[in-house]
Amino acid sequence: MKLLKTSIISAAIASLSAVPAFAHTGSHEASFLANLMHWLTSPTHALLAVVGSAAVVALAIKIKRSRS
């Protein structure tokens, strides 16, 4: 259970990291809050974050079960 909680927290932090998106035009210098709001208000970005986080958690669970 501890690994699952750690995996979820790690996936959430990774998905919310403030990295520039080179596909967008304009300035790439945005604050953490601006990036967070962009990810949460854009349906495609939010879906990608959820799917990516779920994939990371599923992979971590699969690795844990294979080692047990």
Structure pTM? Answer: 0.46
What is the reported pLDDT for 59? 92
First to last CA, the chain: 13
Q: Are 19 and 9 in contact (CB under 8 A)?
A: no
C-alpha to C-alpha distance for 15 and 9, rounded to whole angstroms: 10
Q: What does the pLDDT look like over 19-64, one tens digit per residue?
A: 655 665 666 567 888 888 887 888 888 888 889 899 999 999 999 9
d(CA 38, CA 35): 5
- Residue 5, pLDDT > 60, answer yes
From 27, 54, 68, 52, select the one nearest 35 (Cα to Cα): 27
